[in-house]
Structure 1
């Protein structure tokens, strides 16, 4: 039993670390190989979506994979989720990386739990408790320090990078809230698979996934693109989902803080991204916010909204 729990811990840490490193790999592709951001998002969504749906069919869910197209109601919700949830998260996150850097983009995206918390507080007409007030303070403080590195008169991150990062957090909040009703009815792999396929197909007219673009890149760039698709999407998602057999969603949420840490570390040591002392403090503040929301006994009284329901993965 204990070994199984440790296995679950390792699976989540590896998954979150791969997510963080894949963001840094995407930044490297944008900066050193001139890979178009929209094209990479299209390729990632289509390739990963097909792989997830294939996994669903191999796993004995062949009929379930196609069940979403039997009802206009279900089709509507999947299209909405694919466009504004999955595509929204992926596009804004990669745009934040392109305009800024992977470390800051990942950290800004981690404001999503506070946005979700605020949504539930408004919905249930509740006042925030001390945990929630602390979480909001840490988020605001962390974001301020990330943007200014302790010097309010200057910006350590571009305005475009900040804007896309905040939009990424909003998209992730919508993604998390909206996917809840879908994963209650369909398998998680099917939900994410179709979400990615719908989002990728929607981008095709704007960013055609032509193979000629791939052929024009050198071998190193192609390997990095495959890393973003396989090791940055397919494998970590599978590990994260499978870890639920061994540990609780609350534990997985806490351990997923490895993602911004791996993003910061890989950005600094791989890409040589400058990360000031106050930005480091800001990063600690945002990560602490996630930990506080995870360990708090109850996020919204009577609504029983916990980090189990505010889990921001599946992206």
Structure 2
């Protein structure tokens, strides 16, 4: 794999941990996207309000955990001006951007379409590293990209291009979401080599939430607040934010940005599974075919990376 971010001497046991954490993050994100659509469509929640509180609460939880740990590096990052500046960039153009663009894209279209557009992101990541290292991707990377994109496309569109007919505004925000995902994946790699994922993620969310509060007033709530709202909101904050982002950034330090982002192609699969159980959506032949392609992607990535360990 093109893995400038892959640490030397990595063990197979550690690689399994990296793959597992990336896959878990994808599942949590997939379910989180479905919960977000539920809140937007059925509870009248504003995407900006949801992003603001998601960042603030998740950031507070992660920072509390980080500060309480033994030998915590929570405040070391501020002692180096270059690192502090990179953290601020990550908070605004990475953490805030990747969440708001995705949620706003869901609000303008739906979770399926938004996911398809956002998963142009892995292509951008691989292209960046190919240009950066001045080399073409190897065969297994080409195959992984083809299967990942084809599987995602089939899973959320059933093979019909007509289902991607959306407004220009939705298309713009969806593509912007893809670039935000790529930036979020690549930009914090150097910080993650020096500081823990909990520190980088926690500060990123907290700073991002505070900054976004000047745009979206967290106290200005509109919508229906009941048990369903509470449950979906709690899941988004805990599993779709704290755990998912921490898992993903940790996996990036173990298996590399490209592999981690490609493994997250199972996100649409988790979203579809929840839709079947929760929203009674039928799961037809195209859904299963898309699932198969995504599983093949995981197999190729695992096998293709195995020889590197």
TM-score (norm 2): 0.77
CA contact (8 A) 2:148 2:293 kept: yes
Tell me: higher relative CO, structure 1 or 2? Use CA pairs within 8 A at least 6 residues apart. 2
CA contact (8 A) 2:197 2:250 kept: no
The equivalent residue for 1:303 is none
Q: How far is the alpha carbon of 1:171 from its aligned partner? A: 1.3
CA distance in 2, matches of 1:178, 1:15: 18
Which ranges in structure 1 are unaligned for 5 or more consecutive residues? 300-305, 309-315
Matched, 1:229 2:237: yes
CA distance in 2, matches of 1:149, 1:164: 22
CA contact (8 A) 1:52 1:234 kept: yes
Q: How far is the alpha carbon of 1:18 from its aligned partner? A: 2.9
The equivalent residue for 2:218 is 209
Q: Note the 1:82-97 alignment, pairs <5 A.
A: 82-97=91-106
Matched, 1:28 2:28: no
CA distance in 1, matches of 2:282, 2:216: 31
Q: How far is the alpha carbon of 1:42 from its aligned partner? A: 0.5
* Alignment deviations for residues 195-242 of structure 1 (CA, whole Å, 9 cap, x no partner): 1112112211221111x6289623431232122112322244566788
The equivalent residue for 2:304 is 296
Q: How far is the alpha carbon of 1:59 from its aligned partner? A: 0.8
TM-score (norm 1): 0.76
The partner residue of 2:195 within 183, 186, 189 is 186
The equivalent residue for 1:72 is 81
CA contact (8 A) 2:157 2:164 kept: yes
**SS at structure 1 position matched to 2:131:** helix
Q: How far is the alpha carbon of 1:132 from its aligned partner? A: 2.9
The partner residue of 1:43 within 49, 53, 77 is 53
* Alignment deviations for residues 100-145 of structure 1 (CA, whole Å, 9 cap, x no partner): 3334434543443332111111122212332233234345545665
**SS at structure 1 position matched to 2:221:** helix
Q: How far is the alpha carbon of 1:149 from its aligned partner? A: 4.0
The equivalent residue for 1:102 is 111
CA distance in 2, matches of 1:297, 1:97: 33
The equivalent residue for 1:302 is none
**SS at structure 2 position matched to 1:125:** coil
Which ranges in structure 2 are unaligned for 5 or more consecutive residues? 1-12
Cα distance change, pair 15–139 in 1 and its aligned pair in 2 (3 A)? closer
Q: How far is the alpha carbon of 1:79 from its aligned partner? A: 0.9
CA distance in 1, matches of 2:15, 2:181: 28
The equivalent residue for 1:173 is 182
The equivalent residue for 2:66 is 56
CA contact (8 A) 1:113 1:290 kept: no
The equivalent residue for 1:118 is 127
CA distance in 2, matches of 1:35, 1:143: 27
Cα distance change, pair 141–228 in 1 and its aligned pair in 2 (3 A)? closer
CA distance in 1, matches of 2:158, 2:17: 38
Cα distance change, pair 143–7 in 1 and its aligned pair in 2 (3 A)? closer
CA distance in 1, matches of 2:18, 2:128: 30
Cα distance change, pair 77–236 in 1 and its aligned pair in 2 (3 A)? closer
The equivalent residue for 2:166 is 158
